[in-house]
């Protein structure tokens, strides 16, 4: 479909809130394009502007500036066409209905919903379908909310911090289900502050801090951006000052017989290291955790300002 | 209209048992408490009308007004859990949402009407079929502004504030509408009362007392309130997308 091909576009999106402490620019001019079928993580610490961005993406909050387009349509039109399923960050379920009744009701609101039994099966709600929605645990409630997002059979699935109330096991099961869903060619945008979730389950991460996008790319690229790779090797007689002069190397230190090079470009650094020291052995190149990348990218400007 | 959505809305009303029983039973209990001891009073408050009939008419207006307005309390509790935001992400249109809420409110009001008519008959009220019918039709029309007001308040107020706000509103509207005592045309309050939808709701129920129903002013006031409340309710619903 040609409209499908346009994917999701956020252009120059801006939103400010008045608070007792003054005006806060919650979202400060962001541009994001998501291709159909892509799974993108909106990553950032609390207060980065992720939820505000998602509210504008879904048309729940009018932007101060900029535009949102979902498959070539304004959010309200895409939603009216039944093309969007979402699991918002906050919220609980409509009380006085059983899980199955609630899913049946929600399915009836969409033009081409998924089969309710199929959704129950996929999300693994078999043991709680007959239970009243106001008697569920936090994790069960989250699973039912996920089922509500899926039952619409959407082209775009939006998840805002979906695993917050889940335990480790529930979280794993959740992402496995989400992956299965996304594999059917669906577009998925999810907000998270768990780095491993972005790393493991997204094709791409958009890193937000203080309302701005500080990085946008494959998670491997984000790690590389902050000099995330380290080379460790055995090189007993090395001159640390000389090693630091090698291209792509940021710093060098000694650990007994071994050296550790923190690199901005480990590809360049390893070539230079091998050229200079043919006797180097036990080479290991490791990527720094996304955690490290995350901290560096989101806190650096604040420290500079302080 | 989405029949599945309506069906589950109704199911939810009935399952919220305490709320349901209270809003249905309250006017009924009030009726038996006041009219019961006065069942043989044939000139209630000098009106020349029997107490069971006078109070049946007044409490039908009061009771239906309450049940229809209580839609607002249910909306406020849905909003408290963020459900209105979830609903906003479905293709359910504002119109469909309103129709479902109004129809649910009307079915509650219909139960109130049937129970109070039954209670009236049990205390000896007898009316012609024509009077029953005219009174009922006018009451149902007179409730339209209250359906809008309930939805409007539900989307403007929180669960904490809606209780007192509803209580105050119904007390004010029923008092000045003449639920508890007749607002005579010589009264200073009469002009104000005539501008309120509750006055005309009470007038509708007073068809059973030999009242004249609505004149041109009545139809105009009810229509104006109905339109104004519908617009306010629609606006409140559309704006009400913020996080709780």
pLDDT band at A305 (very low <50, low <70, confident <90, very high): very low
Residue A264 is predicted with a pLDDT of 80
Q: Which of B74, B89, B96, B97 would best serve as a mutation to test chain A binding (most A beta carbons within 10 A)?
A: B89
Residue A197 is predicted with a pLDDT of 83
In angstroms, the CA B78 to CA A104 distance is: 18
List all residues of chain A from 104 to 123 with a beta carbon under 8 Å from chain B: 104-106, 108-111
Sequence length of chain B is 244
Give average pLDDT by consecutive 10-residue segment, chain B, 244 residues.
89 85 86 84 72 86 90 88 88 89 92 93 86 90 93 89 88 82 72 87 82 84 94 86 66
Query: What residues contact residue A132 under an 8 Å CB cut-off, 6+ apart?
Result: A95, A96, A97, A98
pLDDT tens digits, A104-151: 999 999 999 999 999 999 888 889 999 999 898 888 888 899 999 999
pLDDT tens digits, A268-298: 999 999 998 888 999 998 876 656 666 666 6
Structure tokens at B149: 């007001």
pLDDT tens digits, A38-52: 999 998 887 888 999
Q: Report the residue from B4, B15, B81 with minimal CB separation from A104.
A: B4
Contact assessment for residue A27 and residue A52, using Cβ atoms and an 8 Å cutoff: yes
In angstroms, the CA B47 to CA B59 distance is: 16
Is B90–A106 a contact, with Cβ atoms under 8 angstroms apart?
yes
Query: What residues contact residue A283 under an 8 Å CB cut-off, 6+ apart?
Result: A231, A232, A233, A270
Q: Which ipTM value was assigned to this complex?
A: 0.82
Residue A291 is predicted with a pLDDT of 61
Size of interface A-B (CB pairs under 8 A): 82
Q: Looking at beta carbons, which residues of chain A come within 8 Å of B85? A: 60, 88, 91
Strand positions, DSSP E, chain B:
none
Is A91–B85 a contact, with Cβ atoms under 8 angstroms apart?
yes
Sequence length of chain A is 306
Nearest CA in chain A to B97: A109
Q: What is the DSSP letter of A5?
A: G
Q: Report the residue from B2, B83, B91 with minimal CB separation from A94.
A: B83
B88 touches chain A (CB under 8 A): yes
Q: Looking at beta carbons, which residues of chain B come within 8 Å of A105? A: 4-5, 8
In angstroms, what is the C-alpha Rg of chain B?
Answer: 18
Is B83–A109 a contact, with Cβ atoms under 8 angstroms apart?
no
């Amino acid at each position: 479909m040609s409209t499908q091909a346009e994917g999701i576009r956020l252009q120059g999106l801006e939103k400010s809130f008045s608070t007792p402490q003054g005006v806060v620019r919650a979202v400060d001019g962001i541009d994001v394009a998501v291709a159909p079928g892509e799974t993108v993580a909106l990553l950032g610490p609390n207060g980065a502007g992720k939820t505000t961005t998602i509210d504008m993406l879904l048309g729940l909050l009018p932007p101060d500036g900029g535009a949102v387009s979902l498959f070539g349509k304004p959010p309200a039109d895409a939603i009216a066409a039944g093309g969007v399923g979402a699991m918002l960050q906050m919220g609980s379920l409509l009380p006085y209905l059983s899980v199955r009744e609630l899913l049946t009701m929600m399915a009836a609101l969409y033009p081409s919903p998924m089969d309710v039994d199929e959704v129950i099966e996929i999300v693994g709600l078999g043991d709680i379908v007959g239970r009243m929605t106001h008697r569920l645990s936090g994790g069960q409630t989250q699973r039912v909310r996920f089922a509500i997002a899926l039952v619409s059979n959407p082209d775009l699935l939006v998840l805002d911090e979906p695993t917050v109330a889940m335990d480790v096991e529930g979280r794993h099961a959740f992402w496995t289900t989400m992956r299965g869903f996304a594999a059917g060619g669906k577009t998925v945008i999810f907000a998270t502050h768990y780095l491993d979730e972005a790393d493991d389950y997204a094709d791409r991460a958009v890193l937000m801090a203080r309302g701005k996008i500080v990085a946008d790319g494959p998670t491997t690229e984000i790690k590389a951006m902050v000099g995330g790779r380290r080379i460790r090797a055995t090189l007993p007689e090395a001159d640390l000052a000389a090693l630091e002069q090698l291209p792509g190397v940021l710093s060098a230190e000694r650990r007994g017989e071994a050296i550790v090079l923190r690199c901005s470009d480990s590809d360049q650094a390893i070539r230079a290291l091998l050229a200079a020291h043919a006797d180097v052995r036990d080479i290991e190149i490791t990527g720094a955790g996304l955690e490290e990348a995350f901290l560096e990218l989101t806190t650096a400007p604040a420290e500079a300002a302080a | 209209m989405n029949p599945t959505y309506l069906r589950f809305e109704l199911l939810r009303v009935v399952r919220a048992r305490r709320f349901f029983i209270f809003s249905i039973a309250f006017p009924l209990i009030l009726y038996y408490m006041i009219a019961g001891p006065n069942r043989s009073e044939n000139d209630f408050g000098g009106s020349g009308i029997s107490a069971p009939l006078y109070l049946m008419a007044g409490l039908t207006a009061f009771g239906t007004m309450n049940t229809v307005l209580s839609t607002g309390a249910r909306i406020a509790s849905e909003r408290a859990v963020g459900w209105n935001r979830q609903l906003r992400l479905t293709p359910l249109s504002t119109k469909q949402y309103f129709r479902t809420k109004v129809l649910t409110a009307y079915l509650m009001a219909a139960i109130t009407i049937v129970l109070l008519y039954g209670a009236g008959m049990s205390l000896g009220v007898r009316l012609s079929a024509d009077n029953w019918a005219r009174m009922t039709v006018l009451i149902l029309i007179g409730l339209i502004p209250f359906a809008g007001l309930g939805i409007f308040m539900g989307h403007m107020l929180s669960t904490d504030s809606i209780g007192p706000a509803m209580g105050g509103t119904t007390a004010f509207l029923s008092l000045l509408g003449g639920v508890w005592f007749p607002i005579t045309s010589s009264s200073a309050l009469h002009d104000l009362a005539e501008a309120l939808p509750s006055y005309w709701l009470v007038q509708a129920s007073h068809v059973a007392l030999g009242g004249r129903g609505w004149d041109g002013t009545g139809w105009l006031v009810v229509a104006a309130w109905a339109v104004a409340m519908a617009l306010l309710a629609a606006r409140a619903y559309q704006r009400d997308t913020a996080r709780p």
